[in-house]
């Protein structure tokens, strides 16, 4: 059963920590973490405007700290979820030989939105729009986890 989930974006200070916080709040019994493909922000908390936007919806992501994804994450997690296609390509680039871990786009879980990536609010500054989509994708992911495979 899929119950260890890693969310991945580029910096691990905006989209993936938000996805981690939202899924944590909506679920129980799952192991949830997030990481970045890049290492520029390792050790830093999420960007302050996203901490604030998430807090207004009841998600506390202020205690999260950025880290970089490693090949070991393919054994620590059953499912690795990228926020955009570049994330997925970068994740696949470090897949260890023989690792079967599934790698998916977060928006795959919310086809009704028509979105093919989570826009990077660090650049767009549309924190509310990113949160809306992350919440919808988290709901779809939870439905997928609950339905028989």
Stretch that binds ligand 4NP, among 4-12, 27-35, 94-102, 137-145 (CB under 6 A): 4-12
Q: Does 12 bind ligand 4NP (CB under 6 A)?
A: yes
90, 108, 120, 139: the active-site residue: 120
Q: Does 127 bind ligand 4NP (CB under 6 A)?
A: no
Q: How far is the CB of 18 from ligand 4NP (least distance, A)?
A: 8
Q: E strands within 11-56?
A: 31-36
Among 11, 21, 82, 140, binds ligand 4NP (CB under 6 A): 11
Rounded to an integer, what distance in angstroms lies between the CA atom of residue 121 and that of residue 128?
Answer: 9
| Cβ pair 101, 78 in contact under 8 A | yes
Beta-carbon count within 10 A of 143 CB: 11
User: Catalytic residue at 9?
Assistant: yes
Q: Does 13 bind ligand 4NP (CB under 6 A)?
A: yes
Structure tokens at 59: 């998600």
Q: Does 40 bind ligand 4NP (CB under 6 A)?
A: yes
Sheet strands side by side (includes 79-82): 31-36, 4-9, 79-82, 102-105
Q: Does 88 bind ligand 4NP (CB under 6 A)?
A: no
| Cβ pair 86, 118 in contact under 8 A | no
Residues of this chain that bind ligand 4NP (CB under 6 A): 9-15, 40, 120, 122
């Amino acid at each position: 059963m899929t119950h260890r989930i890693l969310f991945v974006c580029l910096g691990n200070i905006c989209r993936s920590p938000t996805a981690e916080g939202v899924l944590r709040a909506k679920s129980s019994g799952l192991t949830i973490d997030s990481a970045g493909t890049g290492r520029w922000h390792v050790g830093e908390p999420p960007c302050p405007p996203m901490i604030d936007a998430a807090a207004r919806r009841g998600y506390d992501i202020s205690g999260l700290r950025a880290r970089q994804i490693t090949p070991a994450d393919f054994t620590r997690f059953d499912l690795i979820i990228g926020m955009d296609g570049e994330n997925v390509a970068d994740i696949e680039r470090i897949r260890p030989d023989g690792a079967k871990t599934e790698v998916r786009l977060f928006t795959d879980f919310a086809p009704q939105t028509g979105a093919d990536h989570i826009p990077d609010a660090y650049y767009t500054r549309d924190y509310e729009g990113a949160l809306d989509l992350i919440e919808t994708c988290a709901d779809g992911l939870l439905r997928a986890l609950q339905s028989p495979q």
